Amino acid sequence: MKKTAQAPANIAFIKYWGLKNNELRIPTNGSISMNLSGLLTTVTVEIDDALSKDDILINGKADTDRSERVRKHLDLIRNKVGLKTKARVATHNNFPMATGLASSASAFSALTFAAVSAYETSLSEREISILARQGSGSSCRSIPSGFVEWIGGDSSESSYAQSIFPPDFWDIVDIVAVVSTDEKKVSSTQGHLCVLTSPFFSARLSHIDVKLKSVKDALGKRDFDRFGSLIEQEALELQAIGMTSKPPILYMSPETIEVLQFVQKLRENGLPLYFTLDAGPNVHIFVEAKNKEKVLKELQRISSIKELISNVPAAGAKIVERHLF
């Protein structure tokens, strides 16, 4: 059986940053995100009795160091569905990998969705998100649609993502200002292991539940200014924890700071827009749809921005007809 799935990357408003259980990827806290319409990964999985080993092609390349992580994930899925047959896998991103644009989220959610379907097993959305989570934590949030909450939980079965609002709930746009397409030096996986070395991590945990509640509330009320200031605080808190970890992790570049300050300046001049950041130098800028063109025009003036990618809230992982091979 051959199946192809497509899944979006997602951007977290409240971040997954730190783990309670590294092996099962149970996070220290819950998180909230939005699926991104313009950052997509497509994965084709074909089950084939003739294979003695999984055959994996990632964005056209065989046997990269990422192949092992994919094999391990296929083993987990096979274990869940009770089958042993190996698979042929190809993946394709429509954006650069490992630059903090969350390629592991879209990749592992599409992989999980395609593999579950190729092994002809029917699992619930929650079960698929639990499987995806174990491949890459943030990928569990790309399985459900629109605005999504990952319930942190304290066991594998209680750590899953669910939709809190559908894609058409709110007309907001995430403009990604790409300032670098280089591979990041410190992966998120490594970052999660360092958080406990920051003296600020315990302070984060002491107010994280209030933050989660406030963001959900601002989203529910479509209160753009409150939502925006909450996501900026959260983005900077994640950077502060990285910078004070041992060894320190500095994800921002001079170009990142230039964009952040530009956003602040435009806001002072009366344009409502807010930023968030992930574990990388690129900046996500949130605007209400009615202001998108105006903001794009302003951002085009910054020469250090290599590309602007506009995203609206998107559906989660889905099966598509067009195979990659």
- Give me the residues that bind ligand DP6 (CB under 6 A), please: 12, 15-17, 25, 31, 102, 104-105, 136-138, 188-189, 192, 278-279
Q: Max alpha carbon distance in the chain (Å)?
A: 64
Shortest distance in whole angstroms from residue 17 CB to ligand DP6 = 6
- Cβ closest to ligand DP6, residue 240 vs residue 271: 240
Shortest distance in whole angstroms from residue 52 CB to ligand DP6 = 28
The token pair at 131 is 């499987």
Cα–Cα separations (whole angstroms), residue 93 to 59, 98, 104, 168, 279: 7, 11, 10, 24, 19
Contact by Cβ (8 Å): 155, 130: no
Please name the residue that has the structure tokens 């099966």.
Answer: 319
Shortest distance in whole angstroms from residue 236 CB to ligand DP6 = 13
Count of alpha carbons within 13 angstroms of residue 116, beta-carbon side: 23
- Cβ closest to ligand DP6, residue 36 vs residue 102: 102
- Cβ closest to ligand DP6, residue 22 vs residue 94: 22
Task: Specify the 3-state DSSP secondary structure of 67.
Answer: helix
- Cβ closest to ligand DP6, residue 118 vs residue 140: 140
The torsion defined by the Cα of 166, 169, 170 and 176, in degrees rounded to 10, comes to 10
What is the distance between the alpha carbons of residues 53 and 85, in angstroms, rounded to a whole number? 9
What is the distance between the alpha carbons of residues 218 and 205, in angstroms, rounded to a whole number? 20
Shortest distance in whole angstroms from residue 189 CB to ligand DP6 = 3
Shortest distance in whole angstroms from residue 98 CB to ligand DP6 = 9
- Cβ closest to ligand DP6, residue 186 vs residue 271: 186
- Cβ closest to ligand DP6, residue 186 vs residue 296: 186
Shortest distance in whole angstroms from residue 274 CB to ligand DP6 = 17
